[in-house]
Amino acid sequence: MRHMPAAAVLLPVLATGCTARARHEARATPSATPSVSLSPPACATGAIRWGAAHRKWRLVGLSPVKRLNADAGRTTFRYAPVRTVVARVEASDARVSGRRVMALLARYLGLENGELMPPGASTEDHRLRAERTRVHGAGRFLTAEAVLTLDAGFTLTCAGRTVRGSVTTWQQSFAQDAFRCGTDPGTDAWAREAYERGCGPLGS
């Protein structure tokens, strides 16, 4: 599986009484019913403006190299973690809703609701632990998995002032591929990283 790195995406703007004197009475008076405010919380409705959004495939899992014969058939490769990506929203005002920001970002990228992982989601909890696959020919093989990450900056109008923040997240789907040592892994940065980690420097 091969994935071309995505270019930066520029995103648009979301426009998105009387008083009474109390009288003393001998009997107890019932307690007042607390009023419920219907106004939205601060930072929940402010307009948001996105900076450039950068997509990048990042290597998250890698198997040890296995030496296989041409007739090896389907082989199980077990992944070890390379790096962990945790979805998060950081803002200069703690009242900013991370889930709202993530949902608005998904909408303007044309993604389905929930396709971007929510704040706190970790690739370590979702990545593949093992893969059973068939390789062709004899040689030294390894498999790797990557995730499509997304980084974006934003400004948000909150209680009449501008709040700045950033998003780091990843999409639910993972990419997996098998590589044969001694062959060109292609141009994708994550694939070349996987090859060099497992097989050694390219061209060696």
Do the domain assignments include residue 161?
yes
Do the domain assignments include residue 204?
no
Given a cut of 60, whether residue 164 has pLDDT beyond it is yes
Do the domain assignments include residue 186?
yes
Q: What is the CATH number of the domain that holds 188?
A: 2.170.15
Do the domain assignments include residue 30?
no
DSSP track, 77-134:
EE-EE----B-EEEESSTTS-HHHHHHHHHHHTTPPTT-BPPTT-BGGGTS-SEEEEE
* Mean pLDDT of the residues in the chain: 82
Assigned token pair, 129: 């632990």
Per-residue confidence band for 111, with pLDDT thresholds at 50, 70 and 90? very high
Structurally, the chain folds into a number of domains equal to 1
**Residues contacting 148, CB < 8 A, separation 6+:** 3, 6, 55, 56, 57, 170, 171, 173, 175
The pLDDT, as a whole number, for residue 61 is 96
Do the domain assignments include residue 12?
no
Residue pLDDT, tens place only, 76-91: 999 999 999 999 999 9
Given a cut of 90, whether residue 146 has pLDDT beyond it is yes
Do the domain assignments include residue 72?
yes
DSSP track, 12-42:
-EE-----------SSPPPPPPPP---SPPT
Look up the domain containing 154 and give its range. 42-199
Do the domain assignments include residue 81?
yes
Do the domain assignments include residue 162?
yes
- Mean pLDDT calculated for residue range 27-47: 53
Q: What is the pTM of this model?
A: 0.73
Given a cut of 70, whether residue 34 has pLDDT beyond it is no
